[in-house]
Structure 1
Amino acid sequence: MLLAIWATDTGAYLFGKKFGKTKLSPHISPNKTIEGATGGLLLALIVGVVYSLFLPPYESLFVTIVALIVISVAGQCGDLVESAFKRYYDVKDSGRILPGHGGVLDRFDSLLFVFPLLYVVSVILGG
């Protein structure tokens, strides 16, 4: 799960910088693009499937791919929600512990959305 989240963040950043043109949600996070979000999802799928070849998290590749999609999309939603909170309260960082990096909440915003959804997917798909 952590690898998929990190791959999503990395892929979104790299693809967004290289190919990003269409803003995802400019009023919430002006630098995020649809191309970046798509690149993040693709890199999460690649990293997750390669990882699953060595240590499969689920018995079925289908369940693994569904879980990776949920992780990537939910992680990006968590990041957008946290950005919306910061924009609403007009703050750059969500705390003082990691100034310049968005604060501690910025490091965990994806996990707050991913954990419950991944549990639900695992229960429904029998993971």
Structure 2
Amino acid sequence: MAKYNQASVTEKNLDRLAYFLTSEIQQPTLAAQIPEGAHIFHGSYADLELTQANVKMAAAMLIEMALGIYEEAPLIMLYEYQSGQQAVIDLGTDDKKHQALELIEAFQEQSQQEVAVKINELMAA
């Protein structure tokens, strides 16, 4: 699994957010597509490291929302698919939320089974 320089990713995210906000103030194009309270991640065809790091962070946040660590909120990516051209991508679709819950439930079930085996081994000894 790739390790990313968190300071670099954070700096890039802040730069992209500042650029987006400035652009939207001058000529709104995408702001109406972003749900209120959304966590905004950035991606670009020209910056694979940033895109991958943010997809990874969004996936972790989705799992943390499913666990109740974070309050549920929309997760979106502002993806630059061409120079100066951006689109809004929903990273927290219902399918993704369902997958996160299934992953957690499978882990819980596996853990319960492992503990039951250990308990049975102790009881049989």
Higher strand share: 2
Q: TM-score range by the shorter chain?
A: 0.3 to 0.5
Choose 1 or 2 for highest CA Rg: 2
Higher helix share: 1
- Structure with higher RCO (Cα < 8 A, 6+ apart): 1
TM norm structure 2: 0.34
